[in-house]
Each structure stands twice: as structure tokens, then as C-alpha cells.
Structure 1
């Protein structure tokens, strides 16, 4: 199960939230920004709850049930796919399951209530009568029809008995009314349901489909092969394909259509974990070799000329997809923004939550946390960019979900360029098959500009004054051209103990083209604790005013400022430019 988000509004609920968190070690406590220090900060409750709900994250909200219902109500549509949602009293005196009856919300309610030593407020009739939700089989099983399931449970509640056909160990302790000759039957089978009204059919996900050819549509071919052997589509556990096709978009589309994970294997290779308890298989054509490589079991081949590119393997028990072949690895390069949690884009949060491995400069990795116990953190020195990029690809090519973190935006003097350079130079087909994504972030220049007003409101450029990776002569040339072109300039890496003179030299160059009254904005640690913002002029600016953690925005000839009360001044660069002006 996905770890739940434990959402609180204030410090009064924190102690109870930590007790709930003890039930789910990988869960994190989400606290309202400015009111409580928690694992994750959020800015607005309704938007945050809706975002969690839309992503399928279980929610344990320590607040009134009515608040939670009103927040997520606009998203309520399909009972079959909603995540568990619970309301818990701040003092832990009540646990109320609200949504997600088919996703185990009542199980969670019992677990949390036991930890808080209270009785859960369960109102579901079937759960109260039978002690379990018959329509919520465990992971690895799928209900054939929710509509039929509701009718079936209604009949049981009305006094009917049932019998169980097949292996359903999770129902051994259920208080179901049973009779060997009962009209109603719970059938656990990979075979397709025939629509019988007296059956509750549950499919074990016990079939793997291997695809060896390029015939299209793939999903249609798999469906046809399943139908030929009277197997239910919901019994499919995974789609298997050759490693050489790892980047094939048609396979991704097919897996999405079929609703199963996609796995890859190199036929005839060793080192693939065997799926347990496979004793019967249905295979066709050359796709059989993929199954043999992935599962290493004896095969009984059935003639099926119509679907020669598809092979099916059938197990008596559910198959864990992670025991069959390898995932397609992913590598996401993301920006954390300037440092504050509310300025991190949602896509970056999602990637961090889904990652198996997080790499980056140690300072930035700490900013991205906290992380779950099952996530591997690889913090390194700030000067090890290429080694970090190569390490990330090695992890991702082995099927891991890897995130490389940068501060600000990953494409602005950060890790995105290093990752692409490593890929470009590698020539490694395994690296090329990795799913690569770059998620933008709020850069230091943008964050500082927003605090100051709009100094980047017209044409601007960003320049790094560090000569560690480029010669100072190039920096001087660019400074002169940018100053002569009257561009607003944002200086990254302006000064350090190892580079004490570059900023003064840069200012001397700019002063040849800009008036002393030119507006300058200095933003230090914007978005982090202890942030400071100051505006000054080019004539007044001294290198002692700046350190490595300062963003320097040097205005153009049109940049101006005006007072904003006791808070200093607003600085902005108008979007228009004087007619006929060619230089400062």
C-alpha cells in the first residue's frame, strides 16, 4: 500500500499524528506552513487534500470529518478507484473512515484505532457482519465486477449462504455464512467470468504475457491470446518484452491500456529472479524464450498460430511483477526551487515521493528530505557533477527510479546539463533506454526578482562569475557585451574565498557602460531561513556586500525603484524601451 499522508492543521494534533505515523513507518506528517513544523509543509488545506486524493494517496486527516468531505467532494466520482480517506480527532478520541471502502479504509481505521486505543467508527454493513470487506480482495487479486459484487453482498446480508471455490486464504477467518451446497459461490480463478448472477468472481493476477514481435496493436493481441485460452484480462499480472525494446512507446501504451506493469528481460540470460510456484504455462512461438529467461520453468506449448508473437505463462498463485524481469529505469533531474517547500513545483514533489534513489550535493539532498526508510540517499560533494550523473544512469539502467536534485532550476548552472553531457558521451544503449525527465524549478534569480518586484521585467541574461569551468577571459567578454547591450544581469556564483577578486573586476567592467545610479538587488538565501533582501545602486555596491549565497541582479538603464513603506522599495524594469535608444 502507498504510505498515507497524515495531514494536520496545527501543533495541537502533532502528538496524535506521530502515534498514527508509528503504524506506517514510511508515512509522513503534512503540516500547515507557518503553524506547525512537520515532515512536509503545505500552503492551503483544500488544495493539498485534493492533490493527494487525485494522486491516489491515502489520507489520514486530523480534523473534523466535514472539513475533509468538503475539501475532496469536487473529486468524488468513481468509488472503485478512490483511495482511503479517514478523519481522526486531534486528541485521538475518534477514528472515522470516510472514503475508500474498496481500498482498505476500514482496515486502516482498525489499525489506527488500535494504536490510539479507541474503537473505530465503522459503519459498512458487510464489514460489521462479516468482519471483512468481501469486495476488497488483497493485493494480487482483482474483483471481476463491482456491480455484481454489490448484489452478491446484498444477498448475503439478506440471509443467503455461500461456498468458496478456489484458494482464498484471506477469507479463512471471515464470518461468512457458509454451506457446501449454497446457491451463491465465491470463485477465485484466472478464468474469464461468464456473467453468472450467483457468483462473486475474484481473479488472481497469475498470468504473464510475453511479447516478442512488432505486431500492432499489442494490447489487442494480448487480449485475443487471453480470450483464446479463456483467461480473464484482470488475471494479467505483467507484460514482458525484450530488453532491446525498453524504449518502445508502443509497449508503454499497451501496458497502460492493459493496466499492468511492464517488465523486460534478455532472453537466455541469468540473474533474473524466479517467480514462485509456477507449474503450468501456456506459450506460443518465439515469445516462449522470454518467459523461459524471466521465469525459468518447464513449459507446455500449445499451438496458437493466430497469436504467434504472444506467449502466456500461468501460475496457480498471484505473481509479483517484481520477480519477473526488470523495470524500465527512470532518471528525473529536478529543481528544488530556492529552498522553501511551497516554492517546489508539484511534479518535483511527486518524483521525490516515487524515487528509489536520490542523488545530489549533500546540502541540496538534505533540503529535499525527509525520505522514507526504503529510499536510498547518495549525497556527494558539490564538485562531483559528472561522477554523480554517471552513477545516476548506472542505477537507473538497473531498473531503479532515480532522482538527481539541484537547487533552483536544474537547467540553470545545475545538474541537467551534466546529466545530458554524460548521456551524450556514454554511447551506452542501456543508458539510452532509461526514461529521462527534467522537472523545472524556481531559479534563484527568479525567486530574488519576485521578492524585489520585477527587475527582470525586460530582456535579461544570467551569468556565472565562477571561472572554475570557463576562462575568465570569456566571462569578461560576455560581461562587456551584456553591459553594452543594456541587458539586466543576474550574477550567479559572484564571489567566494577561493575567488575574491572576480566580482570587483566584473563591476569595474559594468561601470564603464552603466550609470552609478543603476539599481541593484541583492538577495541572500531567498526562500531559506534567514533570507535577506536589499536594494542599492551600482555606485554604492561593494564586494563586501556580497557572498557566495547572494544573488546579484544588476539593472539596465531603465530599471527603477520606488518606496514601499517601511519595507524598502519595489524595483522593476518596464516592459517598454525608450524609442531610438541603442545603448546605455
Structure 2
């Protein structure tokens, strides 16, 4: 399940929110900006709840139920796709499931209520009568038709009894009215539903479709052949547990497209091919459970395997490994882009400099964390590829933006220097982040509003002579300059030397912005001038932005002290 967002309005709900958060790995507390310190902050409740709902994120809102209902009401349309939404009293005295009956909201309500030692306020008739939601089978099973399911439950509530055909152990303790001679039947079968109105059909995901040989085609064509094979055997598409292919085809985008169309995981198996022959049937290499081959069409390149019980896709072959390089932003959770948070939530392994990995939390208990020293970039990048090439979902963590003096370049350098087919097959993506320069500039105003450059003053990876040359060219070109790594105990002289060079080309009145730990607790921001700036004003955690000849300041309004610093987008 996607970790829920626990949304609060004020500090009075924080203690209860933390108790709920402890139940769900990866859950975060979302607090109203300016009112409460939380993992994530938001500016307006209605817009924030709508955004979470639209993304399919489960919502636990610690406020009145009516507030939540009015906020998300414009988005309500399809009961079958809505995420769980609950309202919880700030003091934990009430837990009310509102939406997501088919997504496990009542189960969440019971879990949260048990943790808070209160009874859940469940109002679903079937849930109250039978002790379970018949229309919400467990993972690995799928309801054939929601509309028919509603009619079926309505008949049970009206006094009908039912019998169960097939394996449904999750219903063993349900208080269903049962009779071996009942007109109604709950059927658990991979066979396609024939439309009978006296049946509730639940499909176990017990079929694996394997792509045999090296047949090509678009994703839509492959998915069409799989559906045709299932239809020929009388099997429901919803009974499909996974799409399987030879690992030699791991980078074929058509396979990913087909799996997405079929809404199943894509898995791979290592198959052996004879001399001059295409790879063999991957079913033999991937399935370690008893199965029956129902369909093996060499022309279509599709083979179907049917197991007696639902199949865990994770047990079939392995996934294509994934390596995602993310930027955390400057440090505040609300400045991390959503795609980075999603990558962290889905990762099996998280790598990075220890300090940054800690900033990435909260993490799941079952995630492997590989924290290292900040100077071990290439070793860290190679380790990430080794993990990903074994089929794991890996996240490489950087602060700021991963492509700005950070790990994205090291990852690509490791790939560039490797002759490893497994590494080349890894699904690599880079998620941008808010860089320190951008975060500092935003707080200051718009000092980067015109042409600018970013320079690292560290000579650990390049000679100081190159830094001097670039400083002179940037200063002469009248570019705004953002200095990373401006000073350290090991090189206390370099910032002064850099400023001396810049002062040859810039007036003493040139605007300078200093942002220290911007986006983190205790962060500070101030503006000064090039003439007043001293190296003692700066440390390694300070972003230094030196303006151009056109950069100027304007007094802040609304009673704020200081000035906004900006660089116009034009020259006189």
C-alpha cells in the first residue's frame, strides 16, 4: 500500500498524528505552513487534499469529517479507483472512514482505532453485517465486476445465503450466511465471468504469460496477443499475475508498454538459446511452483502457465533493475519534488552520503540503507549499479539537484567506464531537485534573473588555475555568479583569492547574497556588497551569490526588514 499522508491543521493534532504515523512505514505528517512543524508543509488545505487524492495517496485527516468531504467532493466520480480517506479526531477519540471502501479504508480504520484504543466508526452495511468487505479481496485477487458485486452484496443483505466455490481463505472467519444449496455463489476462479447474475466472481492472479522466442511488435500488439491467448483458453485478463520475457529483451520498451497495458508487473528470466536459435521459453527458468501449460503458440510467441493458487509476481524471475538519482532539495521536505519522494517510497535500497540519507527519511523498515563517506562517489555509483543490475530498485541520494556538483555525473561516469551488459540494462533515471543556488535565490528575490553561472571553488577535483580562469571569464562577462564550496578549513584562502579576482571587474557596491543552510532548520539569509564581504562571513555551508553590474535591491514591504535582491532581465 502507498504510505498514507497524515494531514493536520495545528500543533494540537501532532501527537495523535505521530501515533498514526508509527503504523505505516514511509508515512509522513503534513502540516499547515506557519502553524506546525511537520515532515511536509502545505499552504492551503483544500488544494493539498485534492492533490493527494488525485495522486491516489491514502489520506488520514485529523480534522472534522465535513471539512474533508467538502474539500475532495469535486473529485468524486469512480468508487472503484478512489484511495482510502479517513477523518480522525485531533485527540484520537474518533476514527471515521469516509472513502475508499474498495481500497481497504475500513481495514485502515480498524488499525488506527486499535492503536488509539477507540472503536472505529464503520458505517458500511456489508462490513458491519459480515465482518469483511466481500468486494475487496486481498492482494493477488481481483473482483470480476464491481456493479455485479454490489448487486450480490445487496442480495445477501436482503436475506439470501451463499456458497463458496474455490479457495477463499480470507473469508473463513467472515460471518456470511452460508448454505451448500444457496442460489448465490462466490466463485474463485481464473476463468472469465460469463455474466451470470447469481455469482460473485473473484479471479486469483494465477496465470503467467510468457513471451517465447524473439518475436517483435509494438506494446499494443504484444498485449493484444496475450489477451487473445487468454480469451482462447477462457481465462480472464484479471487472472494474469505477470508478463514474463527473456532477460535478453530487458531493454525493449515495447515489453514495458505491454505490461502497463495489461496492468501487470514485467518480469524476466535468463534463458539459454541454442546456436543460431532464439531464446527458449522463460517459464521453465522462472517458475518454481507447479503449473500447467495451457497455451504455447510458437507463431504468436505466447505461452500461458496456470498455477493452482495466486502467484506472487516477486517470485517469478526478477524485475528489471532500476536506479534513480534524486535531489533532496536544500533540506526542507516541502521543497523536495514529489517524484523524488515517490522514488524513495518505492526503493529497496538507498545509497548516499550519510548526512543526506538521514535527510531523506522517513524510510521503510525493510529498506536497505547504504550510507558512505562523502568522498566515495565512484565506489558508491558502482555499488548502485551492482545492486540495480541484480533486479533491485535503487535510489541514489544527493542534496540540492543531483546534476549540480552532485551524484548524477558520478553515476553516468561509472556507466561510461563500464563494459557490463547488466549495468547497461538498468533502467536509469535522474530526478531534478531544487539546488542550493535556486533555494537561496528564491528567498533573496531573483538575483539569478538574468544570465548566471555556477562555480565550485573546491580544487579537490580540478586545479585552482582552471578555477581562476573561469572566475575571470565569468566576471568579465558580467555574469551573476553562484559559488559552491566557497571555503573550508583545508583551503581558507581560496574565497579571498576568488573575491580579489571578481573585484577587478565589479564595483564595490555590487550586490552579494549569502544563504547559509537555506531550507534547513536555523537557516539564515542576508545581503551585503562585494566591498563589505569578508571571507569570515562565509563557511562551507554558505551559498554565495555575487550579482552582476545590473543586480539591484528593493525594500521589502509588509513590515519586513531588509531588501529583495534581483537582476533585471534587460540591459540599459
TM-score (norm. length: structure 1) = 0.92
1:229 maps to 2:223: no
Match of 1:506 in 2: 498
Match of 1:262 in 2: 266
Deviation track 1:67-97 (CA, whole Å, cap 9, x = no partner) reads 1112222322211111211111112221111
- In the aligned structure 2, how far is the partner of 1:378 from the partner of 1:303? 44
Give ranges in structure 2 of 5+ residues lacking alignment.
none
Deviation track 1:357-406 (CA, whole Å, cap 9, x = no partner) reads 22111111122112121122211111111111111111111122211111
Alignment of 1:62-461 (within 5 A): 62-212=62-212, 213-216=214-217, 217-267=221-271, 289-296=281-288, 304-305=296-297, 308-461=300-453
Q: Offset at 1:187? A: 0.8
The answer to whether the 8 A contact 1:492-1:551 is kept is yes
Counting matched residue pairs gives 563
The answer to whether the 8 A contact 2:486-2:544 is kept is yes
- In the aligned structure 1, how far is the partner of 2:347 from the partner of 2:5? 17
SS in 2 for 1:325: coil
SS in 2 for 1:412: coil
Q: CA, structure 1 residues 297+366, in 2 after alignment: closer, same or farther (shift >3 Å)?
A: closer
TM-score (norm. length: structure 2) = 0.94
The answer to whether the 8 A contact 2:272-2:279 is kept is no
Match of 1:46 in 2: 46
SS in 1 for 2:90: coil
- In the aligned structure 2, how far is the partner of 1:474 from the partner of 1:144? 66
- In the aligned structure 2, how far is the partner of 1:89 from the partner of 1:178? 38
SS in 1 for 2:87: strand
- In the aligned structure 2, how far is the partner of 1:288 from the partner of 1:141? 30
Q: Offset at 1:297? A: 5.5
Match of 2:568 in 1: 574
Give ranges in structure 1 of 5+ residues lacking alignment.
270-284, 579-584
Deviation track 1:319-365 (CA, whole Å, cap 9, x = no partner) reads 00001111112111111111222221122122222222221111111
The answer to whether the 8 A contact 1:287-1:311 is kept is no
- In the aligned structure 2, how far is the partner of 1:313 from the partner of 1:286? 20
The answer to whether the 8 A contact 1:521-1:552 is kept is yes
Q: CA, structure 1 residues 261+113, in 2 after alignment: closer, same or farther (shift >3 Å)?
A: same
- In the aligned structure 2, how far is the partner of 1:235 from the partner of 1:316? 12
- In the aligned structure 2, how far is the partner of 1:530 from the partner of 1:458? 29
Q: CA, structure 1 residues 351+301, in 2 after alignment: closer, same or farther (shift >3 Å)?
A: closer
Q: Offset at 1:495? A: 1.1
- In the aligned structure 2, how far is the partner of 1:252 from the partner of 1:423? 22
Q: CA, structure 1 residues 402+25, in 2 after alignment: closer, same or farther (shift >3 Å)?
A: closer
- In the aligned structure 2, how far is the partner of 1:503 from the partner of 1:459? 22
Match of 1:274 in 2: none
The answer to whether the 8 A contact 2:6-2:62 is kept is yes
- Aligned CA-pair RMSD: 2.1
Q: CA, structure 1 residues 433+304, in 2 after alignment: closer, same or farther (shift >3 Å)?
A: closer
Q: Offset at 1:480? A: 1.2
- In the aligned structure 2, how far is the partner of 1:41 from the partner of 1:233? 41
Q: CA, structure 1 residues 343+115, in 2 after alignment: closer, same or farther (shift >3 Å)?
A: closer
- In the aligned structure 2, how far is the partner of 1:24 from the partner of 1:518? 51
- In the aligned structure 1, how far is the partner of 2:292 from the partner of 2:149? 35
- In the aligned structure 2, how far is the partner of 1:57 from the partner of 1:251? 27
